[in-house]
Structure 1
Amino acid sequence: MDVIRSALWKSLHSYQVYGANTNVGKTIISTAICNSLRRKFPDQKIWYLKPVSTGPLAEADDCHVGKFVSGINADCLFQFDEPVSPHIAAQQSSDNVPSDSELLQSIYSKLSQYADRAPGWALVETAGGVHSPGPSGTSQVDLYRPLRLPTILVGDSNLGGISSSISAFESLHVRGYDTNLILLFSNHKYKNHEYLVDYFSKRNVTVLSIPAPPEWQPDGGDFQRMSDYYDTLSESEPMEHALSLLKANHESRIENLESMASRASSVIWYPFSQHQSISTATITTIDSAYGDHFQTLNMSRERTRHPLLSPTFDGSASWWTQGLGHGNPELSLAAAYAAGRYGHVMFAGTVYEQALTLAETLLANMRNSRLSRVFYSDNGSTGIEVAVKMAFRASVVRNRWDATVKDLEVIGLKGSYHGDTIGAMDCSEPSVYNGKVGWYTGRGYWFEYPTVKMVNSTWIVEVPEALKPELGSGSQYRSVSEIFNLSGRQSEPLANRYRTYIQKIIKKLVKEDKRRFGALILEPVVLGAGGMIVVDPLFQKLLVEVVRESRDIFESGPLDTRADWTGLPVIFDEVFTGLYRLGRFSSASFIGVEPDISVHAKLLTGGVVPLCATLASESIFESFVSPDKSDALMHGHSYTAHAIGCTVAQASLTSMLAMERDRSWDDFKTQWQDSRGPEIWSVWSKEFIEKLSNDPAVAGVIGLGSVLAITLKDSAGSGYTSTISQDLQSRLTQGNGREWNIHSRVLGNVIYLMSSLTSTSQNIRVIEEFVDSALHSSV
């Protein structure tokens, strides 16, 4: 699998040496550190590693270190003859040039070899400055980030070095590196050290200066002078301080990691967790995350020489939020920029560039002619509350009901769930999420519906037993695209049955039961928390159409010719399903209807910070326009449209739209091509999903966009309280002998996995193999 674990061993003190610029003395300081380590720890191994070197072999940095430090192991992985930047030297080389992943794997392999022979120390010295390119052209600060080695920064003691040193530190810091120490040469003319000590003392970073090396002289005595310099330096107070600091930081990092689970179990109250089943052993300690993976503490083996951290595939996409890879530098920089430019600025009667640009981007790319306004809130649940407030007010105004009406309800689907705040809870039927909450009332009617899944290599629309007398037994289809070919399916007998069934229920609810409704609310295509249920898109389409055609049932006021909704305002909860989670910018496009209100969060900021946008039509907006202040949408948060969230969201959407424009997902789409309907695709392979569908333990499987959901057969019954999927979840967590494992979440008898939008087909195929083997192995 193309994934690198963070490099951390208990017995190996490993550090990466970065330079604030070229020619700041990285190799001299690395040599000095190695020489001092050899003297201070004579019984330990000392290694020096130069991943990439350019220039004549005789002048290579590893040769310099080996010349002046006796007994050291000095290695270089890739040597290029031209004394230029590595990316230029690589272009001019006839040798094989390593890819980023090959270079990282080579470094990790070397460090693993060192750890096997430890206890000891290893220094990994980079080339040039922090942002100098590697052989592929990737900036080193991004190239080496997956290893997340603690950093020694060699500061610049020359004129202008204060700026370059601080800039280098910030480039490392914003990408999640831990810079333990800054070393630089003394320079009494510029006194950079004095300024940097004061500057970094406020940031809890130690800055030490050491004497500059002797200048070159044409008398041939340079070797002896440098040897004397290193020997003297090895016994100096700054070097003693530096080594003590590095040793203490290494030990405290490990001690902190190893104690976190125990400390957490006594002070943290976890969400959606029964604490009787939580212990120190069940808590996953995450040191960092990068790409598709957490780097988690490995507690399963004797770890003196084994890696302390293991890559763990983030199989829930961190509760459906992660889309562009953990540690994405573009999103990190966007957040830092907004924090630096604005911090937080209030958003009542004000505007700033990023909030406006984001609103315009969302409206333009929804391709929904109804939507014209954007309301910001802090997360999906509150965004739903906003949407319901909007819809209910529009219904009250249209029907000229008393503004204080208290009996309005929603129409929705069984198994849907829209969030954990009071109003959002009331939009869902009774369930394990709200059943024991004292304020829950359940304000609505929730339709049963047919579902979509693959069973025994066949895509089916399955009708619940209770609906079979009216809808029949369902249908089989040759492909998932055929199921989403809604224009073609309109002529099916099933379509007429759906329409008749929906009309009958609606008429009974309003005319006979005298219930009053203010909104239709749907999760388009997939019900997330309800169990990753794919609803027959034809049923959802016809439900919206019937509601909109039923003005005579729902509306009591005069027709407003300016309005763009009839029957009920339609809310689409795209918090989970929107923004390419299912392969399209808006999941509304799958069912071919335009909602009046649309709610978006989760992937909106690429998994960096919370933010939600509720989009509404102009007529919904106009329901709140009045001379009376109390008629306004009285909803907001102190952090409404916070600058960091809006800036990151704009960067996230820009990246996603570029990926679609650049056809980045074509490798996945090709295998799903089908002429029987619209483009429906998944990162999960067609072959893999078909194989799962034939497994005797599997009741059904779906793959759509980045979502894979496997429903397991459970003789004790299905639903959220089922425990049947926990064994499979455990096997994925244990890793079954692999150097990586999978973190997953379960929803009763459903186990689901979710990739990011940047996952590679190679990695997905490896994960598929693991899931398949775990399904057939025992704990």
Structure 2
Amino acid sequence: MPPPVGSLLWRSLRAYQIYGANTEVGKTVFTTILCKAAAEFWKPEKTTYLKPVSTGPLNEADDYHIGRFTSDVSPHTLFQYDLAVSPHIAAGVSNKFVPSDESLLSKIHAFASERAAQGPGWLFVETAGGVHSPGPMGNTQADMYMPLRLPVVLIGDSKLGGISQTISSYESLKMRGYDVEAVMLFQEDKYQNYLYLTDYFAERHGIPVKSLAAPPERQESIILDRSHMQDYYEVACTDTTTREILEHLDTRHQQRILRLESMAEAAHKQIWYPFTQQKHLPADKITVIDSARGDYFQTLSPAPGAESGQALLNPSFDGSASWWTQGLGHADPQLTLAAAYAAGRYGHVMFAEAVHEPALALAEKLLKGMNNPRLTRVFFSDNGSTGAEVAVKMALRAARLRYGWDTSSKLGILGLKGSYHGDTIGAMDCAEPGTFNEKVEWYEGKGHWLDYPTVVCRDGEWVVELPADLREHLGNGGQKFETLSHVFNVKHREDRGESQKYEAYIVETLKKLQQKGHRFGALMLEPVVLGAGGMMLVDPLFQRTLVSVVRQHPELFGTAECTASEGDETTWTGLPVIFDEVFTGLYRLGRFSAASFLGVHPDISVHAKLLTGGLVPLCTTLASESIFEAFESDDKSDALLHGHSYTAHAVGCQVAIESVGEMQKMDARGDWAWAKKASSTPGAKLTEGEGVWSVWSNEFVDFVSQRQSVDGIWALGSVLAIHMRSEDGAAGYKSNAARDLQAALLRGVEEEGTKWNVHSRVLGNVLYLMTGQKTSEESVRKVQSLLSRALKA
């Protein structure tokens, strides 16, 4: 497996990509001028030309043209196909090797790395055709070359219609995160496109536009034609315009490096970081991210040094999926286009008593995808914490009205220890006292949080283990299971009577709380996995039983008759049940909704993170009609008085439609079949639980579970959590047991001349990693290999 591709940036190798606004705009002519002038003006530095993919006869190839008219330039082509058509057609009908996009990028990176090692100079990489001309595999060049993040010289179109074509090409590149550093085109007297484009780009974008005289007309005599072109190049490469462009490109190159290398120190002085004790964060430990694409950041090398041949940027696998948000990968063009469309059509429009298509379409998509007969309404907010607060407001009102409590009644939340629902004050009050809130002056934990059994793989066995308090109540040390699928076969386990002890413990606890005068307004759970609380995989049977007990025993919470009609699956009973799926929902664990693992339907469900694939903030709180009706009144003050200026932000809604829709298509197409196969158990025949799978292979999980330094591991969907043993006895968020493993991943490895590492986060003694939903099997196996080496050390 080749290493991941890094961006092309070296200290003294000025590398630029030449894009054309169209075919036949003079891209090769301008590249020849730039190469010839750079070789002349920057002697004795070396100037190199690279054509990744070329089509047509060899004697008409662009590298042949460069070599014919320059004497000090080194021209190269990586893949040459004989037919003079689009690369995807030429490659398809040839008998030659057709590289994948990843293979092509790796070869470009290897070529540029070798060139950088030879000393300072210039590298010009010329594309084929226009911005969106396809590469060998059919993907457009604008998308295909994105990981290289080369700054661009755009060759404009001087012909009729060229103004529109040039601006459209620029916008396509800009929308994909390219830095267009200059525009060049011919001076065409008839259309004078260069005059309009010079003003347009200078005024709107601050980009220089330089124009040169068009080359001479083609001559029938080959000798005469070459002579005229030679004379043209001699004049063009000494033109002050050409010199100005090269000096501009040189300056921009140096400015980019200077800015990158000064960012950490500037950030250290000016930025206040989240979840960070900055007293222990020196500037040299701040990660400088130049760009991101797919699963990887491009990060500044921690010790760039002064050597011109040392790459300044290295690929870093985004091991936290950028704090749990990435679904389709960084800089996904599909999501970017959706955002641009909504921004161009709406910008932001106020949402109170109004509607727009993105909001309505998203509401419909989510309600249908949840397949929950209770949920009928969608409330929009901007992040998971506020979405959780909205859910609590909904539930408390419904419970107060149902049980006839007055507004002075103090209502609490029933939940699990270690729960985390966000950092706003109301969301913090829904969690027990702990590291995240114990020193927050306004914190008032309102509720009761139960202990619970957890699931880990230890020494090759899946174990449901009980904390000390539960062992006293349940009288055993837990259970062992052959596979994780058996753990999640909750209906089968329930039928075998495994839930009875759970039920007795829960009922006993709730009775004691009632006797003490506690009043609860909601049961609030993170289904299956408690995220920030320590990546705890909860026994799904326990959560299923907890929901059932709450719904079947309304007498434990109030005195009114609160049972639903027989067969009614839409009206809440006992307490409104809130599922916080901000982390676990929308395919993070392999399914649209994590609630499906438990086989129960919540009355309120909160969704964010993967909702927009990490592109923009957005949250939705879904509720049942019986919850909604609690706010219906003739008095406006009885309404749900909650909102944000950016409620139902059109850009976020449109991106969410694309993000959720694409993941649904991936599921339907079987895009995760490789992962399901790798995590399946041969011969296992279950009536339920077949949907329990992980991108992390069974063999890898088994290997890690048997390391002496590992206390337990679990993997589900895209998430992997490794619980490390703590030598000093410290536990939870304050432990440093996972720091050494995190440091080993950050050191990374060098493969085939490319350094890469894994950027990860820890929660005390837990190191967790997660992929995006589009992460390839190859990438997962590479990360597994690096982890395995680190754990062997």
Short-chain TM bin:
over 0.9
1:616 pairs with one of 623, 635, 651: 623
**Aligned residue number for residue 93 of structure 2:** 92
Structure 2 CA distance, aligned partners of 1:261 and 1:645? 30
Q: 1:641 aligns with which of 618, 636, 648?
A: 648
Distance 1:736 1:96, change over 3 A: closer
1:640-719 pair list within 5 angstroms = 640-673=647-680, 674-676=684-686, 677-679=688-690, 680-715=692-727, 716-719=729-732
- How far apart, CA to CA, are the structure 1 residues paired with 2:792 and 2:679? 26
C-alpha separation in 2, matches of 1:346 and 1:685:
47
The reply to whether residue 315 of structure 1 matches residue 315 of structure 2 is no
Q: 1:555-634 counterparts in 2 under 5 A?
A: 555-559=558-562, 564-634=571-641
Equivalent residue in structure 2 for 1:537, among 525, 537, 540 = 540
TM-score, length of structure 1 as denominator length: 0.98
Letter in 2 for 1:575: V
Q: Distance in 1 between matches of 2:562 and 2:512?
A: 23
Q: Which segment is superposed worse, 310-319 or 768-777?
A: 768-777
2:554 maps to 1:551:
yes
Aligned residues: percent identity?
54
Q: How does 1:442-453 map to 2 (within 5 A)?
A: 442-453=445-456
- Secondary structure, counterpart of 2:171 in structure 1: helix
Instruction: Read off the aligned partner of 2:652 and give its amino acid letter.
Output: G
SS of equivalent residue, structure 1 residue 623: helix
Deviation at 1:400, TM superposition (A): 1.9
Q: Partners in 1 of 2:462 and 2:25 — Cα distance?
A: 64
- Give the distance between the partners of 1:315 and 1:154, measured in 2 at CA: 38
Measure the CA separation in 1 of the matches of 2:718 and 2:551: 32
Q: Report the CA distance between 1:776 and its aligned residue.
A: 2.7
* 1:80-229 → structure 2 map (5 Å cutoff): 80-201=81-202, 202-219=204-221, 220-229=223-232
Q: Which moved more, 1:165-174 or 1:200-209?
A: 200-209
Please give the alpha-carbon distance, in whole angstroms, between the structure 2 residues aligned to 1:155 and 1:736. Answer: 42
CA contact (8 A) 2:154 2:170 kept: yes
Between 175-184 and 215-224, report the one with greater CA deviation.
Answer: 215-224
**2:380·2:619 contact (CA, 8 Å) conserved in 1?**
yes
Aligned counterparts, 1:237-636, within 5 A: 237-302=240-305, 303-402=307-406, 404-471=407-474, 472-510=476-514, 512-559=515-562, 564-636=571-643
Match of 2:766 in 1: 750
Over residues 355-375 of structure 1, what are the superposed CA-to-partner deviations in whole Å (9 max), with x where a residue is unaligned? 100000000010100000000
Unaligned runs of 5+ residues in structure 1 are none
Instruction: Report Cα offsets for 1:726-746 as digits up to 9, x if no partner.
Output: 111111111144510000100
- 1:36-55 paired onto structure 2 within 5 Å: 36-55=37-56
C-alpha contact 2:201 2:208 (8 A) present in aligned 1: yes
Q: For residues 135 and 3 of structure 2, what CA distance do their matches in structure 1 show? A: 18
Q: How many residues align?
A: 775
Aligned partners of 2:493 and 2:499 also within 8 Å:
yes
> Where do 5+ consecutive residues of structure 2 fail to align?
none
Conservation of the 8 A alpha-carbon contact between 2:264 and 2:286: yes
Q: Find the aligned partners of 1:279 and 1:210 in 2 and give their Cα distance.
A: 50
Residue 676 of structure 2 aligns to a residue whose secondary structure is: helix
Report Cα offsets for 1:339-385 as digits up to 9, x if no partner.
Answer: 11110001101111011000000000101000000000000000000
- Structure 1: which amino acid aligns with 2:47? I
- What letter matches 1:634 in structure 2? L
RMSD: 1.1
1:732 aligns with 745
What letter matches 1:248 in structure 2?
T
Q: What is the rounded CA distance, in whole Å, between the counterparts of 2:705 and 2:339 in structure 1?
A: 42
Q: Deviations over 1:111-162 (max 9, x none)?
A: 1111011201010000100000111111011111111110010000000000
Q: Which amino acid aligns with 1:166?
A: I
On the 8 A contact 2:430/2:446 being kept in 1, the answer is yes
| Aligned residues of 2:391 and 2:606 also touching (Cα < 8 A) | yes
Which of 720, 723, 740 is the aligned partner of 2:736?
A: 723
| SS of aligned partner of 1:566 | coil
Separation in 2, partners of 1:178, 1:456: 51
Contact 1:2 1:101 in 2 (8 A): no
Deviations, residues 602-657 of structure 1 (Å, cap 9, x unaligned)? 00000100000000000100100111000000000000000110000000011100
- SS of 1:114's partner is helix
| Residue 768, structure 1, aligned to residue 784, structure 2 | yes
Write the deviation string for residues 200-253 of structure 1: whole angstroms up to 9, x where unpaired.
Answer: 111111111111111112344111211111111112121111011100000000
Given that 1:2 and 1:763 are in contact with CA atoms closer than 8 Å, whether structure 2 keeps it comes out as: no
Q: Distance in 2 between matches of 1:662 and 1:60?
A: 41
The structural deviation recorded for 1:671 is 2.7
Could you tell me how far apart the structure 2 residues matched to 1:150 and 1:39 are? 22
Q: Is the 8 A contact 1:182 1:207 kept in 2?
A: yes
Offset of residue 469 of structure 1: 2.0
Query: How far is 1:763 from its partner?
Result: 1.4
Secondary structure of 1:49's partner? strand
Measure the CA separation in 2 of the matches of 1:443 and 1:430: 10
Cα–Cα, structure 1 residues 67 and 281, in superposed 2: closer, same or farther, change >3 Å?
A: same
CA offsets 1:65-85 (integer angstroms, 9 cap, x no match): 111111210001111111111
Separation in 1, partners of 2:22, 2:30: 14
Contact 1:2 1:762 in 2 (8 A): no
Partners of 1:387 and 1:614 within 8 A in 2: yes
In 2, Cα distance between equivalents of 1:289 and 1:196: 30
Paired residue secondary structure (2:734): coil
1:25-44 map, 5 Å:
25-44=26-45
- Aligned-pair distance for 1:494? 3.7
Q: Name the SS of the counterpart of 1:37 in structure 2.
A: helix
**For structure 1, which segment, 665-674 or 517-526, has the greater mean C-alpha deviation from structure 2 after superposition?**
665-674
CA distance in 2, matches of 1:751, 1:313: 15
Residue identity opposite 2:398 in structure 1: A
Q: Distance in 2 between matches of 1:553 and 1:762?
A: 52
Shift, 1:406, TM fit? 4.7
Cα deviation, residue 284, structure 1: 0.3
Q: Distance in 2 between matches of 1:98 and 1:322?
A: 28
User: Matched residues in 2 for 1:470 and 1:365: separation?
Assistant: 39
CA contact (8 A) 1:83 1:89 kept: yes
Query: Aligned partner of 1:753: which letter?
Result: L
Post-superposition offset of 1:560: 7.3
Give the 3-state SS of the residue equivalent to 2:129 in structure 1: coil
TM superposition shift of 1:554: 1.2
Q: Which residue of 2 aligns with 1:73?
A: 74
Matches of 2:161 and 2:82, distance apart in 1: 30
Q: Within 5 A, what are the aligned runs for 1:51-62?
A: 51-62=52-63
Q: CA deviation at 1:405?
A: 2.7
Report the residue type matching 2:207 in the other structure: V
Are the aligned partners of 1:312 and 1:742 in contact in 2 as well (CA < 8 Å)? yes
